[in-house]
Structure 1
Amino acid sequence: MSWAGKLLRVNLTNGTVASEPLRMDWAKQYLGSRGLASKYLVEEIDPKVDPLSPDNKIIWSTGPLTGTMASTGGRYTVVTKGPLTGAIACSNSGGYWGAELKMAGWDMVIFEGKSPKPVYLSIENDVAELKDASHLWGKSVWDTEKTIKASHQDPLVRVSSIGAAGENLVLFAAVVNDLHRAAGRSGVGAVMGSKNLKAVVVRGTKGVGNLVNPKEFMRVTAEKKKILAENGVTGVGLPAMGTQVLMSVINEVGALPTRNHRDVQFEGAGDIGAEAMGRPRTAPGSDGKKPLVTNQACFGCTIACGRIQKIDQNHFTVENKPQYWGASGGLEYEAAWALGAANGVNDLDTLQYANVLCNEHGMDPITFGATIGAVMELYEMGVLTKEQIGIDAKFGSAQALAYFAEITAKGEGFGKEIGQGSKRLTAKYGHPDLSMSVKGQEFPAYDGRGIQGIGLAYATSNRGACHLRGYTIASEVLGIPVKTDPLESNGKPELVKAFQDATAAFDAAGVCIFTSFAWGLADVQPQVAAACGDEFTLENLNTIGERIWNMERDFNNRAGFSSKDDTLPKRLLTEPAKTGPAKGMVNKLGEMLPIYYDIRGWDADGQLKPETRSRLGL
């Protein structure tokens, strides 16, 4: 079995660290990572707990394929009750940290309580101890990693930490590893900050053993890597252009949310997408170089979709800040959209500057950017004034975007209000309908009027609006695995459920969801079976995915969520798209939701029916 078979339990209140055996009966039912960590969480905390109280817990977890030679087997998840939403939060990250934890001989680390002073956890194979982090408190993610590597005298230790945003309890603070990979959404970094936990540092040299059938695992992983290499998306598009390849595609289909979803197409999309990143700059006074430096891969990844990007050192954002002149983690599509089209900003270097600050200080760029969209709309309406927010903030202002990124990361002035997210901010100023969110979490980069299925996926997502909980864009736009009409609502409940369940199984296995552009669950299954045992049939994996989804849903129901929370902002339900293929359309959630509930085996209030519980063993 490719589980390490043990976890670390850290009581921050008492300062104790203890090893305990992994619940293998749960591992057989929930696999690992998102599934298994969520099982531990829902069994151990009160669903109604205050997310920022010591009674909440936060868990770092790997999957059985994490750290193995399976392609993209570097993923780990951070699971907790999220402060942004009050729902279950599970945030996934790549890089190298997850594989390192597995190679140190651990599947999972559970933190409970609250430390009386700043601490970090140091793990070196079997030895784990809490160390004082007073000297790290107040440092950025980047400085924290640099300082820890120097003090451990080991450049190969892997660091998962928070920056100023997590310390200041920004409700969309991220947990960042390897400088620019992040467990980004739902405020998992704020839970770390609330516990005075600065970082989790790991060095593992044991490797990953115990595969059930090593020879078969080597054969099948090689076969599946070939599928990724020969696929047009995972073998060509993502390596060459990264996720930013989507900017022009989604704009063309009329589903690129623009200026806080007032529009569905952005006239500046060509200035901020993959093509612009690969072109030399032509603006007067610019350096004439292209922003994109290279691509980059996470541990074990054969796709390499990551971007490394450079800001023009003559640009207004960095002209007197040489610390930002070097190459750094570049723009992903979601971040470029949230910082750009969502605010009407088409200055690529400003987007990268804001993105770099999100990495450096540990903030989710999606929620941050989408919240700025709401701020700009409130400003244009006259609800917010220049005196209140500190700058002229009309849609399209690159200066305002850069300024807001600086003050939100530091928790200064109006930045404190931005740090609460758009739901709380818009409610405070009397316009809650201007928060483009579900369950308090802001939309990613797709409009539910132009792509009907993703609207249903947002409304029903267990962690609030999210594209990675059922990426129907694959089918509705890219034709993977089959092409469905993005403007058609018929058949979308079935599509959404299938994507949601499969994604849960991919996440639980410990592989990247981007593999699903080329792989189906039938490609993951033989890898899991060779690593973990023949009982992991395709039918079993499907059931595990469905079980995970329903477990998360049940936790949210017990936390106080119901069918009334499975909705979309008024704008998407009542204001038709103005341009593009979806012109004149709204999202048809009302037609899709009852069918979705029925095929899920839930009642009219969105609660699990007894027979659904029984079938899934919940």
Structure 2
Amino acid sequence: MQDKSLFGYAGQVLRVNLTAGNIKIKELDEELARDYLGGNGFCARLLYDMTGTETDPLGPENVLIFAVGPLTGTSWPHTGRFEVAGKSPLTGIYGEANSGGHWGSELKKADFDTIIIEGKSKTPVYLSLDNGKVEILEAESLWGEPVKKTAEELSEKHGTDKRKVACIGPAGENLVRFSSIMTGDYRAAARSGLGAVMGSKNLKAIVVKGDKKVEPAKPEKFKELATDARKRIINHPFSKDTMKYGTTILVELMNEIGRFPTKNFQAGVFEHADDIGGEVIASEYKEKDRACYACPLHCENFTRVTEGKYKSSGKVEYETLSSLGSRVGNSNIEALLYANELCNNYGLDTISCGGVIGFAMECYEKGIITKEETDGLELEWGDEEVMIELIEKIINREGFGDKLAEGTERLAKSLGEEAQQYAMIVKGQDIPAQDGRAQKSMGLAHATANRGADHLTAFEVLSEVGFNEEIVNRFGEEVLPEAADRLNPKYKPLMVRDGEHFCAILDSVTVCKFGTIWPPALYFQDFAEALTALTGINYSESDLRKIGERIFNLERSYDIREGISKKDDLLPDRLTKTPAPKGPNKGEVVELEEMLQEYYKLRGWDKESGLIPEEKLKELDLEGVASELAETVSFRNI
């Protein structure tokens, strides 16, 4: 039952030890809820406390944490998301992924805010959560099955629909280091390789089913605020295209400004962008609109290729159109949609999948990799058949695919120093579909993200197309015109830091950033008012800013404990030393060091080492973390 002192929460934490077969349910800690909100905040706090430098990401000692936030399952718009975290098999540092759909809201309705999974089952199993009742059930018959079939069988067995099944495909079972956790409607918690953590535990799926209601402390006020938020999102001038195209429209927009990574970031302009963009998808392949829980934008464009060898169905996002399109030189949209479904159904992060294939293609182009090493395949740019064959090899860890399944960083190291210059990674994770030379804030954000290269940790979009009014409202008139100029590094550290704190809040309450940040319809104060009405706890804008900063610094502390410092806040030389060869950003590089120094200053971090001073952690109520990190010589000498 919901603890009435914790309005907005289910009030329960589920802890499952698969080694012992133990199931424990405990009350949600009220202090944890106040200080970290939920979702991302819960993941950061629990993962820091429950794992350490000795934890093997693929060992039974690693934990897998699923968490939702107080807004999840309410009438607030865009509240269908969930967070999942563990020590990353891809990077060896803080690992976290986020997914939309309906699974997160159903977890809340099933009477849980958080699931903590420990240990390893001797045989394949899955979890069933039904209105507070939890069972560990055998899954041997499901092992080896793709996502779609797994979800269909479990939803039929448990009397729910496939959207409420989170599972892994064969890629996760085979411990591919960039495998994803999928829900049955092809929503992906893709980054950090957490599908491999789930696979290492012999955990095939989690089925959730519930009908509990989330009770606001002030129902009428919360309803009023939620209704207003929904209207502001729908009425934003950018929302019309968002509803029509989803993220696919970004292909044309990003290509136009030179931010669309092509041939492993050799350029930011793809001459065939129109062949794989939002317009062609909407006019020729879109079948219907679908929406996540409580979403007014229904941006999930369901596509279908009805005939031919690339017959497929599913949903596709901007990142995939880049990673399996321009990044590997592929302009065949039907092959791209087929490859996308292949990754979704077998459980691969499309960003890292396209990243490692693009890296291999460039190494082949440069003569670093030969046909003898690729099972006889010629890794030519734009060869969609080779791309698809490589994806299949990765899923099954077959031949050359076994090396690709280890990820770009490990493959690059195995090939030697020459190859490593072509690895488009940060902290071991493949850079997503933003060429930082075309938007300097994205370059900085990739370098500072705690889970490795990531655009959603900060999601700085105000300088992307020049949202001048929002820039002035948030940072003052004095930052114009430089702040609105995507090619000018000035003020970008300020905007990235702000975005990192705001995104930490959104991922903790758990709300989608599409429609909240893009377009920029809501901000800190809106969520402070919503949380106050929902939880009965009086949150101010400054409270949320501090919580966002606390969460981000805690994640950074996790990475510092693993050896991360300024030396790792880097971008590949291609982005900082090689000017963009063509497009509207021709001649540009990312002025990373200049921005990093200002960024560290704003954060109160040491500018030489990138470490967090003890007093800064104490200021954020992280005294225990400060004490632990202070034991290292490098930290004491700041």
Shorter-chain TM range is over 0.9
Shift in Å at residue 362 of structure 1?
0.8
3-state SS of paired residue (1:128): strand
- Is the 1:255–1:449 contact (alpha carbons within 8 Å) kept by the matching residues of 2? yes
Residue 509 of structure 1 corresponds to 509
Shift in Å at residue 478 of structure 1?
4.9
In 2, the alpha carbon distance for the partners of 1:7 and 1:226 equals: 34
Residue 285 of structure 1 corresponds to none
In 2, the alpha carbon distance for the partners of 1:47 and 1:478 equals: 42
Is residue 416 of structure 1 aligned with residue 419 of structure 2?
no
Is residue 401 of structure 1 aligned with residue 377 of structure 2?
no
Shift in Å at residue 73 of structure 1?
0.9
Residue 8 of structure 2 corresponds to 2
Is residue 74 of structure 1 aligned with residue 54 of structure 2?
no
Residue 455 of structure 2 corresponds to 467
- Is the 1:312–1:349 contact (alpha carbons within 8 Å) kept by the matching residues of 2? no
Residue 107 of structure 1 corresponds to 113
What pairs with 1:189-268 in structure 2 (closer than 5 Å)?
Answer: 189-209=195-215, 211-233=216-238, 235-268=239-272
Shift in Å at residue 114 of structure 1?
1.0
- Is the 2:163–2:185 contact (alpha carbons within 8 Å) kept by the matching residues of 1? no
Counterpart residue type for residue 221 of structure 1: A
Give the alignment partner of residue 414 of structure 2, picking from 414, 424, 428: 428
Shift in Å at residue 560 of structure 1?
1.4
- Is the 1:48–1:560 contact (alpha carbons within 8 Å) kept by the matching residues of 2? no
TM-score w.r.t. the length of structure 2 is 0.92
Shift in Å at residue 117 of structure 1?
1.1
What pairs with 1:68-217 in structure 2 (closer than 5 Å)?
Answer: 68-155=74-161, 158-209=164-215, 211-217=216-222
In 1, the alpha carbon distance for the partners of 2:526 and 2:53 equals: 35
In 2, the alpha carbon distance for the partners of 1:126 and 1:573 equals: 52
Shift in Å at residue 48 of structure 1?
4.0
Residue 3 of structure 2 corresponds to none
Residue 24 of structure 2 corresponds to 18
- Is the 2:525–2:540 contact (alpha carbons within 8 Å) kept by the matching residues of 1? no
Shift in Å at residue 232 of structure 1?
2.0
In 2, the alpha carbon distance for the partners of 1:505 and 1:127 equals: 30
In 2, the alpha carbon distance for the partners of 1:607 and 1:49 equals: 22
- Is the 2:261–2:327 contact (alpha carbons within 8 Å) kept by the matching residues of 1? yes
In 1, the alpha carbon distance for the partners of 2:487 and 2:427 equals: 24
Give the alignment partner of residue 384 of structure 1, picking from 364, 369, 378: 369
Q: After superposition, what is the alpha-carbon deviation per residue over 1:203-246, rounded to whole angstroms, capped at 9, x for unaligned? A: 1012222x11111111110011000010122x312111110111
In 2, the alpha carbon distance for the partners of 1:597 and 1:381 equals: 37
In 2, the alpha carbon distance for the partners of 1:21 and 1:439 equals: 36
Structure 1 residues 154 and 582, CA, compared in 2 at 3 Å: closer, same or farther?
Answer: closer
Q: After superposition, what is the alpha-carbon deviation per residue over 1:485-516, rounded to whole angstroms, capped at 9, x for unaligned? A: 11111111111100111110111111111122
Counterpart residue type for residue 299 of structure 2: C
Give the alignment partner of residue 435 of structure 2, picking from 440, 447, 456: 447
Q: After superposition, what is the alpha-carbon deviation per residue over 1:18-44, rounded to whole angstroms, capped at 9, x for unaligned? A: 101111101101100011122111112
In 2, the alpha carbon distance for the partners of 1:600 and 1:215 equals: 39
3-state SS of paired residue (1:111): strand
Percentage of identical aligned residues: 40
- Is the 1:506–1:521 contact (alpha carbons within 8 Å) kept by the matching residues of 2? no
In 1, the alpha carbon distance for the partners of 2:213 and 2:451 equals: 33
- Is the 2:302–2:314 contact (alpha carbons within 8 Å) kept by the matching residues of 1? yes
3-state SS of paired residue (1:605): coil
3-state SS of paired residue (1:77): strand
- Is the 2:147–2:184 contact (alpha carbons within 8 Å) kept by the matching residues of 1? no
In 1, the alpha carbon distance for the partners of 2:288 and 2:344 equals: 18
Shift in Å at residue 278 of structure 1?
2.2
Residue 587 of structure 1 corresponds to 590
Structure 1 residues 70 and 357, CA, compared in 2 at 3 Å: closer, same or farther?
Answer: same
3-state SS of paired residue (1:386): coil
Structure 1 residues 182 and 152, CA, compared in 2 at 3 Å: closer, same or farther?
Answer: same
Shift in Å at residue 152 of structure 1?
2.4
Is residue 344 of structure 1 aligned with residue 337 of structure 2?
no
Give the alignment partner of residue 296 of structure 1, picking from 269, 290, 293: 290
Shift in Å at residue 519 of structure 1?
1.3
3-state SS of paired residue (1:123): strand
Gaps (5+ residues) in structure 1? 280-289, 319-323
Is residue 307 of structure 1 aligned with residue 301 of structure 2?
yes
Counterpart residue type for residue 231 of structure 1: H
3-state SS of paired residue (2:74): coil
Residue 366 of structure 1 corresponds to 351
In 1, the alpha carbon distance for the partners of 2:154 and 2:537 equals: 42
Counterpart residue type for residue 449 of structure 2: S
Q: After superposition, what is the alpha-carbon deviation per residue over 1:265-290, rounded to whole angstroms, capped at 9, x for unaligned? A: 110111111011123xxxxxxxxxx1
In 2, the alpha carbon distance for the partners of 1:157 and 1:455 equals: 35
Residue 282 of structure 1 corresponds to none
Residue 467 of structure 2 corresponds to 479
In 1, the alpha carbon distance for the partners of 2:224 and 2:268 equals: 46
- Is the 2:255–2:273 contact (alpha carbons within 8 Å) kept by the matching residues of 1? yes
Give the alignment partner of residue 578 of structure 2, picking from 572, 575, 579: 575
- Is the 1:48–1:558 contact (alpha carbons within 8 Å) kept by the matching residues of 2? no
Q: After superposition, what is the alpha-carbon deviation per residue over 1:137-188, rounded to whole angstroms, capped at 9, x for unaligned? A: 1111111111112322444771100001100001111000133101110101
3-state SS of paired residue (2:86): strand
Gaps (5+ residues) in structure 2? 1-6, 472-482, 623-638
In 1, the alpha carbon distance for the partners of 2:548 and 2:94 equals: 16
TM-score w.r.t. the length of structure 1 is 0.94
Shift in Å at residue 474 of structure 1?
3.7
In 1, the alpha carbon distance for the partners of 2:488 and 2:314 equals: 37
In 2, the alpha carbon distance for the partners of 1:147 and 1:75 equals: 23
Counterpart residue type for residue 533 of structure 1: G
Q: After superposition, what is the alpha-carbon deviation per residue over 1:323-351, rounded to whole angstroms, capped at 9, x for unaligned? A: x4xxx322200010010010111111111
Residue 310 of structure 2 corresponds to 317
Structure 1 residues 157 and 594, CA, compared in 2 at 3 Å: closer, same or farther?
Answer: closer
Q: Number of aligned pairs?
A: 597
- Is the 2:505–2:544 contact (alpha carbons within 8 Å) kept by the matching residues of 1? yes
In 2, the alpha carbon distance for the partners of 1:90 and 1:175 equals: 11
Q: After superposition, what is the alpha-carbon deviation per residue over 1:31-78, rounded to whole angstroms, capped at 9, x for unaligned? A: 000111221111122244111111110111010000111101111110
In 1, the alpha carbon distance for the partners of 2:544 and 2:184 equals: 31
Counterpart residue type for residue 32 of structure 1: G
Counterpart residue type for residue 578 of structure 1: P
Counterpart residue type for residue 15 of structure 1: G
3-state SS of paired residue (1:187): helix
Give the alignment partner of residue 353 of structure 1, picking from 332, 338, 343: 338
- Is the 1:169–1:193 contact (alpha carbons within 8 Å) kept by the matching residues of 2? yes
Shift in Å at residue 587 of structure 1?
0.8
In 1, the alpha carbon distance for the partners of 2:587 and 2:522 equals: 36
In 1, the alpha carbon distance for the partners of 2:142 and 2:49 equals: 33
Structure 1 residues 173 and 201, CA, compared in 2 at 3 Å: closer, same or farther?
Answer: same
